[in-house]
Structure 1
Amino acid sequence: MSTVIDEVMESPIAISISDLSKSFNENSHYVLENIDLTIKSGEFFILLGPSGCGKSTLLSMIAGFIEKTSGKLIVDREEVNKTGSNRGVVFQQADAALFPWLTVKENVEFGLKMKKTPKSNREEKSSYFIELVGLKGHEGKFPKELSGGMKQRVQLARVLANDPDILLMDEPFGALDAMTRRTMQKELIRIWKETNKTVIFVTHDIQEALLLGNRIGVMSVGPSSRITDIYDIPLPYPRMFTDKEFNLFYQNIQAHFD
């Protein structure tokens, strides 16, 4: 029986990055320098590194929010120079992403409404993704009535409803308490398996990286940060941080930051 990693490695390339660098003005150091990375379709890839190393900057470049300084950044065989519907972004702070005057259902349908999707199709899609993220029964609530974890589920449902090929997730569980965070990690793996999306997930938490990722790209301390090592993680899901192999990977990755 093939594993998830075997299936991913046989998939086409979703993102190709070569010699990518970024500085914010001519007189500053590079924030990122000489980034080389290939990500396959359907892969769950982790960008792991300390705060300030440029993880979010790299994610924003893939999203098309900010321009590269030099190098190549190709998504779905096209050079990235703007945002695109093939990429959906889930931010750390759901409060900043959700519209407080809209209900859960209305938030999830917002992008579809902007694309003038017929009402019947909007309702069908929103119902499916609201149920997928575990919010069935909460459709009529407003963001202020939801917990932090529920708000992140709404944000994820809204992104998924727009059917992007790639999910870009910038420390989406960083503001949650430990128990809610663990629940959301498990839910994200379930949703990823069901939707087969390509996921790039930013975190500075080694344990979170190992619980989630097919591969982990370890980034160096900035400035001029780069991906120094990439770890293949062939552990089956669900993963337990008490397992021996899990702890061996943890120790090897932790050594980069000691």
Structure 2
Amino acid sequence: MSQAPQFDTNTIKIEQLYKSYDTPKKGEVHYIIKDVNLTIRGGEFFVLLGPSGCGKSTLLNMIAGFVSKTSGRLKVGSSEVDKPGQDRAVVFQQADSSLFSWLNVRQNVEFGLKMKKVPKAEREKVSDRYISMVGLSGHENKYPRELSGGMKQRVQLARVLANDAAILLMDEPFGALDAMTRKTMQKELSNIWRETNKTVIFVTHDIHEALLLGQRIGVMSKGPSSQITDIYDVPLSYPRDFTSVEFNDVYKKIQSHFDE
């Protein structure tokens, strides 16, 4: 019962959300996002699935507070989102753009804690936990240039977890990884989510990845004027077996949506 208030705080509620950009012709409105309505429960793993260019990243960046809405409601807990906040952390597709090249793994993971003036001994305790959780023990003193793409993504994830944001916003974080590393990272993320009970919103265009990770999957239509047209509840237990009949039945159901 003690977790319920936290989960209420982490709930994301979106009502009649629109995003448009100005166009050269006066009076012409082009919507990227049009009439999106969605509630994401605190502690849920929710996947935004859709083709490239459909506005998935735009919607994620609106939730993060990086992109302003044109109209509608977008609330985290009881607060309207109008700027970034410490309750929301973003994991990007390219870790290079977010890691500090002059800091080693431990220093990168501890950076946010240091900015909050957390004492050194406590910072080390927290960084030890999350460096271990993402499988980077023994690499604490390496710099980003010495790490593989998968290891850099692990550092980015460990840093986000160390900062203890309640909501993780993940923009195709494994899209640039090789197939084997991607599979490993999917498994690690699923384990971490179940261990921490954080709210996760995960963007992908890969149905297989969406089904391995998500409790619910929101399917977005092609852009422009993209909407969430369908939401699928995934009735599969974790860890998920992509070779199972049940997995492939759900896969075919979602694939048929895109075939149409």
- When normalised by structure 1's length, the TM-score is 0.94
Deviations 1:139-171, CA, capped at 9 Å, x for gaps: 000011111111100000000111001000000
Moved beyond 3 Å, runs of 4+: none
- RMSD, aligned α-carbons: 1.4
Tell me whether 1:158 sits opposite 2:155 in the alignment.
Answer: no
| Paired position in structure 2 for 1:57 | 58
Tell me whether 1:18 sits opposite 2:15 in the alignment.
Answer: yes
Separation in 1 of the partners of 2:17 and 2:118? 37
| Paired position in structure 2 for 1:247 | 248
Separation in 2 of the partners of 1:77 and 1:205? 32
Deviations 1:176-208, CA, capped at 9 Å, x for gaps: 000100000000011001111000000000000
| Paired position in structure 1 for 2:196 | 195
- Aligned residue pairs total 250
User: In the TM superposition, what are the counterparts of 1:1-258 in structure 2 within 5 Å?
Assistant: 12=8, 14-25=11-22, 27-258=28-259
Q: What is the identity, as a one-letter code, of the residue corresponding to 1:142? A: Y
- When normalised by structure 2's length, the TM-score is 0.93
Gapped regions of structure 1 (runs ≥ 5): 1-6
Separation in 2 of the partners of 1:106 and 1:76? 32
| 1:25 to partner: Cα distance | 1.8
Partner of 1:46, secondary structure, is: strand
Partner of 2:258, secondary structure, is: coil
Partner of 2:231, secondary structure, is: strand
| 1:128 to partner: Cα distance | 1.0
Separation in 1 of the partners of 2:37 and 2:181? 34
Separation in 2 of the partners of 1:77 and 1:243? 41
| 1:28 to partner: Cα distance | 4.0
Separation in 2 of the partners of 1:185 and 1:141? 23
Separation in 2 of the partners of 1:150 and 1:39? 30
Deviations 1:213-237, CA, capped at 9 Å, x for gaps: 0000000001100000000002011
| 1:122 to partner: Cα distance | 1.2
Gapped regions of structure 2 (runs ≥ 5): none
Separation in 1 of the partners of 2:67 and 2:117? 27
My pick for the range that moved more, 173-182 or 235-244, is: 235-244
Partner of 2:117, secondary structure, is: coil
| 1:248 to partner: Cα distance | 1.1
Separation in 1 of the partners of 2:239 and 2:42? 21
Separation in 2 of the partners of 1:85 and 1:205? 29
Separation in 2 of the partners of 1:256 and 1:29? 25
